[in-house]
Chain A
Amino acid sequence: MPKSPDPPSTTTGPPPDGEVVLEARAISKHFAVRRTLRNFADRNRPVVHAVDDVSLKLRRGSVTAVVGESGSGKSTIARLLAQLYPTTSGELLLHGKPTRVGQGRAFRAYCRQVQLIFQDPFGSLNPTHTVRYHLTRALRIHDRAGRTADDLEKALAALLERVHLTPPERYLDSFPHELSGGQRQRVAIARAMAADPAVLLADEPVSMLDVSIRLGILNLLRDLKERLDLAILYITHDIASARYFADETLVMYAGRMVEGGDSETVTQRPAHPYTQLLTSSAPDPDRIVADAKARAEAATDPAGGEVVVEEEESETAGEPPSLISPPSGCRFHPRCPKAMERCASEVPPRFDLADGQWAACWLYAEDAPKQAAPQEASA
């Protein structure tokens, strides 16, 4: 990562060392399940364990990816960090100070620092209003519209230039439907930038865009991070994009965070069996080449060529569990090819591995049978 020439740091290795702007400590979110006849009188009405015991730090000038399948709790994390709803338990710290805002003034002050953008830029822009309207409103809300009409015009132009919609006058008076998907997402980003935030939470910002325009948006986010020293949370289901775009990658499974570390390490030497399943399932054109090579090697060397993750064929093999009654112990244990006895009863804590990588998996406990060692890249 090309970073400003840091003072010779004492910590070696890749973990980003920018100042922590926003931190979550052991946050959880449980949603009440709709009242039904059956659970009406039940004291312990069931809840959806959308997010449990998640801790993360967002640092200045750094992109942190949260990767996971749909339903794993990614959007809930983004909404908790944006304080769109309160946590069930746990703590949020902004610039090191605990923060819990309700509605109104405190919430507005928080929003000035922490902005959220969504997957669907169509849904988040009002179709009856122009780009000018959206951006002007955002600038006014955050007191950044200036005093004169001229100030406002300059601020609007600067915002559009910042997201590379130039020349600005070509876009200012457009309506959302007159823009392409990529341009709409740029407008949504410009609107978030109107607050001049310290943190940008991006919830699957490119998932709905065409492949050929995704890269442009990701490069824009990276550019903003570098020029404005933003702390960015990048939520995605595409682990390959986390490799390219995020400094640090965190992996979610069924509402819990199961692995973390710098992105290259987590994607190339995944430690947690779930991350291993995810990386071996992601589309990968190089696999045809790598597979052919591995097969040739395995054929000549029966001891080598250890098979990565067994591919199951049972009907539920690809299915994440229910979050209303999540599996006990490690939530991945019903699908885990390496599950041990304790996995079904005890929740694995984080175990630290080399270079800042960690995994919440009993394989890495001190007393675990020796076999672990993060998986080597197969290519």
Chain B
Amino acid sequence: MTSTPPVLEISGLNVNYGLGAKAVHAVRDINLTLHRGEVLGLAGESGSGKSTLAYAVTRLLSPPGVITGGEVTYHPREGASLDILDLEPEQLRAFRWSEISLVFQGAMNSLNPVHTVRSQLTDVLRAHRPDMTAAERQERAASLLSLVGISADRLGSYPHQLSGGMRQRVMIAMALALDPEIVILDEPTTALDVVMQRQILKQLTRLRNELDFSVVFITHDISLLIEFSDRIAIMYGGRIVEEAAAKEIYQAAHHPYSHGLLHSFPALHGPRRELTGIPGSPPDLTAMPPGCAFHPRCPKAFEPCDQRVPTLAPVPLDEGRTVACWLHADH
């Protein structure tokens, strides 16, 4: 999977909420690369900074959120690479939707209740593709709906006439309206039942294959990511603590937190596994433990852990994997 060229490279990204001494450091020193055509899963407990990262990358962060450092480099198919963080507001408007689109958490409740599905889809097209005729917009709206498995006769429906699963699929259709290169989905199926969830995710992976875009798929449910993503990055306390191919993480997690997560949920099939869980609770960002943020909960913590922050680095002898843990530091 890593053989395809990068489409998005995040480096040294930092995001705070608030200013000065009271600032909450929600995203810390993130380095992450999304490759063309891949599904990258971003996992972590609530409060670990996943949504903040998504908002920062798409420049949708609103006050008191501030990006305090880093670069987000976008590599178009043709032409020069650019830093999204340097874009002027009017460049940004064109950039969002057509290059990168975000379906945010709870999006299915953010459809405008007084407008039909048709008018919400065609509005996006009208705003960004002024050269399209009304008839073309209609046609595009219908084909977008059928793309996500909804028949075109639903175009005239209002959001309340659709089930949660259908509304979520309308949001995905909208995100695909301008053929973006990157789609970021923040907990797209958390509120849905498993049958619907699987259907939407299957549809999404099928679309990814047909339309060749890249996906960042954010969720707290790591079991879902293992099935539906190519690579997984795991966040804890605002940092990425491990990154590897989905199957590799499942078969052998290196970071004690990843290991704990994988041994926290019961498996439906196969032999009954022993579940260990993770003691304690996720960290409070306003009172972050020193050193490795996971050390108060880590069964393997040792001498350097409460003193120095481990950085995300390649795992010796394990190509393509990175981990931030003193157990795996190469010295």
Could you list which residues of chain A lie within 8 angstroms of chain B, going by C-beta atoms? 69-70, 180-183, 210-216, 219, 237, 239-241, 243-245, 267-268, 277-279, 281-288, 290, 311, 313-315, 317-320, 377-379
Contact = CB atoms under 8 A, between A and B. Distances in A.
Interface residue SS majority, chain A = helix
Contacts of A320: 193
Top 4 nearest A-B pairs (CB, nearest first) are A215-B277, A318-B196, A180-B281, A212-B278
Contacts, number: 123
Given A240-B267, A282-B268, A288-B247, 8 more contacts: A210-B220, A212-B278, A213-B278, A213-B281, A239-B268, A285-B227, A313-B203, A317-B199
Interface of B: 45-46, 149-151, 154, 163, 165-166, 193-199, 202-203, 220-224, 226-227, 247, 250, 260-261, 264-270, 272, 275-279, 281-282
A212 B195 contact: no
A229 B166 CA distance: 45
Contacts of A319: 163, 165, 196
Contacts of B269: 268, 279, 284, 286-287, 290, 377-379
Nearest to A216: B277
A279 B268 contact: yes
Contacts of B150: 315
For A244, A268, A320, the residue with the greatest tally of chain B CB atoms inside 10 Å of its CB is A244
A278 B275 CA distance: 23
A237 B220 contact: no
For B163, B279, B281, the residue with the greatest tally of chain A CB atoms inside 10 Å of its CB is B281
Contacts of B261: 211-212
For A212, A214, A290, A379, the residue with the greatest tally of chain B CB atoms inside 10 Å of its CB is A212
Contacts of A267: 268
A209 to B, nearest CB: 9
Contacts of A237: 193-194
A211 B264 contact: yes
B267 A212 contact: no
A262 to B, nearest CB: 13
27 contacts: A70-B193, A181-B281, A211-B222, A212-B260, A212-B277, A213-B281, A215-B275, A215-B277, A216-B279, A237-B193, A240-B265, A244-B275, A268-B269, A281-B194, A281-B198, A282-B268, A283-B198, A283-B227, A284-B268, A286-B269, A287-B269, A288-B226, A314-B149, A315-B166, A318-B165, A319-B165, A379-B269
Contact of B223 (A69, A181, A212, A284): A284
Contacts of B193: 69-70, 237, 318, 320
A319 B277 CA distance: 33
Contacts of B202: 311
For A211, A282, A377, the residue with the greatest tally of chain B CB atoms inside 10 Å of its CB is A211
A285 B221 CA distance: 11
A16 B117 CA distance: 52
B196 to A, nearest CB: 4
B223 to A, nearest CB: 4
B223 A283 contact: yes
A318 B278 contact: no
B204 to A, nearest CB: 13
Nearest to A378: B269
Nearest to A291: B227
A244 B275 CA distance: 9
Contacts of B279: 216
A215 to B, nearest CB: 3
A318 B268 contact: no
A268 B269 CA distance: 7
